[in-house]
Structure 1
Amino acid sequence: MKLFAAVLLALLAGLLIGLWLGRGGGQAITTRLQQALVGQTSFLPPPDALAQQIRRDRVAFFRASPARAEVVMLGDSHSENGPWSELFTGTTVLNRGIGWDSSQDVLDRLDEVIARKPATVFLLVGIVDLRYGQEPEAVAARIRTIASRLREAGIRTRVQSVLPVAARLNEPTNERVRRLNELLRPDPDFVDLHPVLVQGGALDPGLTRDGVHLTPSAYVAWSRHIEPLLPSRSN
């Protein structure tokens, strides 16, 4: 009874905070409280009210846009922060990255990406899930679902390896990243980003300032690594 009461109180707290922060905020906090009760550890704070609004605005803009492109860069903040149109000159590119997006968030908005009718999607998502404490097997299953839905729509889908965090953050996240990437590696269009962005199983310290997000030089290295896979330059 005591455990049930604790769970109930945690859920109620999450819902109340969600009403205060706005739509979507309560779900993330409720998840964090549930994880704490079962012993899971989250290393990523949920987005605050402003970040939640920015995320909603970004999705609304995506859905209102009439744009078409050969390539879509899809995922979380790693994709969002990339200046892809400048890096891939001669190729039309849409940025469909949203900070804090989990694999489920990407799956929920996938219809908009399919509507753009790109030739190729470069997918990178999963680190948010792992840093919230989710199991690599569950994350891999959702990523496979995303790739399958895109391919069913006739879109070539490059599943990129999930990037670890820098060693200085002292998180156990990187072991989970390794496990997730091993599950994704059999994908026929798996793209390993680790040779250019990772050192010793952790994010290259010279390519990040906060241990998670990438520097401009990291995006140059990333873009050069995948440039041969652009639809205009590959079979």
Structure 2
Amino acid sequence: MYFFLTLPITALFLYDVHFRQHLFNYCIRQSNKIRPPKYVFVGDSITAGGLNWGWRLDRNLVAATSFGLHGYQANQLVGSVKSGTALRPKFFHLLVGTNDALAQKPVAEFSRDFRTLVELVAKSNATLVVTLVPYQGDAAQTELIQSHNAEIATLQYEFNFRTVDLNPVIAPEGVLLPQYSDDGIHFTPDAYNVWIERLKPVMDAAMIDRSSPDMNGFAKSVRYHFPEKSVGKMDVIFL
């Protein structure tokens, strides 16, 4: 009887990688109540698709907790950010905006929602790192995503967080290249490899800054890139 009762769960565990990761994240979160994680990742399905971020960054299965929620927009992630900061991580990573763009959320509304998330992280002792909203396979979304990213860059001046920009590699002309997505939105393994290549140096530099009493985890220099055919380039520099 016990075998038949557990068979569906066993089948899910064996054949559904997302179920395994969800279960693993639950176990990690329980252990993190005793020992804080190094990283917390909050975002939508693109973040969820990264699976175990602790392994990707540090080759440590329990170094990160992920709150990647499929279909979520910025205003829906308040609870996840609160749960993530409650775990007292050293680093807090945020990527949100893909579903906001799909929903054609106005720039002012996205900026307000994103600010709310940043303010919640700012109340904690975590160093915030933000990956800018990636472009999509549909060029019709590019202008709105550029505007959303410009709002993130503006908030960066105020809150001194670090940013990671994948678009110069995965979407150099403002449209997500086919080798980095099968559906024009979600990432392929190659895209996640690019993300780690760009994210890890930023995390490493942030770790050095956390150890420096002069920097207190703030960003020194960040470059924010727009496709040249649209609005040019903008440098964001903190001295």
CA distance in 2, matches of 1:63, 1:146: 23
* Superimposed CA distance per residue, residues 161-197 of structure 1 (whole angstroms, 9 cap, x where no aligned partner): 1012114xx6x22211011111111313233222232
Work out the CA distance in 2 between the residues paired with 1:233 and 1:220: 21
Q: Out of 41, 65, 69, which is 2:30 matched to?
A: 65
> Which of 213, 224, 233 lines up with 2:186 in the alignment?
213
Given that 2:39 and 2:54 are in contact with CA atoms closer than 8 Å, whether structure 1 keeps it comes out as no
Any residues of structure 2 matched to 1:190-205 within 5 Å, and which? 190-205=163-178
Aligned twin of 1:96: 67
Q: Does 1:153 align with 2:124?
A: yes
The residue that corresponds to 1:76 in the other structure is 44
Gaps of 5+ in 2: 1-18, 210-239
Kindly provide the CA deviation profile for residues 115-134 of structure 1, in whole angstroms up to 9, marking residues without a partner as x: 11111111000111221121
Deviation at 1:108, TM superposition (A): 2.9
Q: Normalization by structure 2: what TM-score?
A: 0.66
SS at match of 1:88: helix
Q: C-alpha distance in 2, partners of 1:221/1:161? A: 14
Query: 1:100 touches 1:128 (CA, 8 Å); kept in 2?
Result: yes
On the 8 A contact 1:120/1:155 being kept in 2, the answer is yes
Give the letter for the 1:234 counterpart: I
CA contact (8 A) 1:123 1:160 kept: yes
CA RMSD in angstroms, aligned pairs only: 2.4
Q: What secondary structure sits across from 2:46 in the alignment?
A: helix
What letter is aligned with 2:57? F
Cα deviation digits, residues 99-126 of structure 1 (max 9, x gap): 1111011113322111111111110001
Query: Is residue 179–residue 190 contact of structure 2 (8 Å, CA) maintained in 1?
Result: no
| Structure 2 match to 1:129 | 100
Change (3 A) 1:62 1:77: farther
On the 8 A contact 1:136/1:176 being kept in 2, the answer is: yes
Provide the secondary structure at the position in 1 that maps to 2:92.
strand
What CA distance in whole angstroms lies between the structure 2 residues aligned with 1:116 and 1:62? 13
Give, in whole Å, the separation in 2 of the partners of 1:64 and 1:71.
12
Tell me which amino acid in the other structure corresponds to 2:136.
Answer: V
1:42-57 to 2 correspondences below 5 Å: none
Mapped to 1, the partners of 2:80 and 2:57 lie a distance apart of: 24
User: Whole-Å Cα distance in 2 between the matches of residues 71 and 63 of structure 1?
Assistant: 12
Residues 73-98 of structure 1, C-alpha deviations (whole Å, 9 max, x = no match): 21001100003233112551112111
Amino acid at match of 2:148: L
* Structure 1 moving runs of 4+ over 6 Å: none
In the superposition, relative to structure 1, how do residues 233 and 157 fare at CA in structure 2: closer, same or farther (>3 Å)?
Answer: closer
- Are 2:45 and 2:186, in contact at CA under 8 Å, matched by a contact in 1? yes
* Structure 1 pair 124–64 and aligned structure 2 pair: CA distance change class (3 A): closer
Q: Is the 8 A contact 1:80 1:96 kept in 2?
A: yes
Tell me the matched-pair count: 176
The residue type equivalent to 2:124 in the other structure is A
Superimposed CA distance per residue, residues 20-72 of structure 1 (whole angstroms, 9 cap, x where no aligned partner): xxxxxxxxxxxxxxxxxxxxxxxxxxxxxxxxxx9xx88x9489734231111
User: Which of 87, 103, 125 is the equivalent residue of 1:116?
Assistant: 87
TM-score (norm 1): 0.67
Identity of counterpart residues, as a percentage? 21
- The aligned counterpart of 1:8 is none
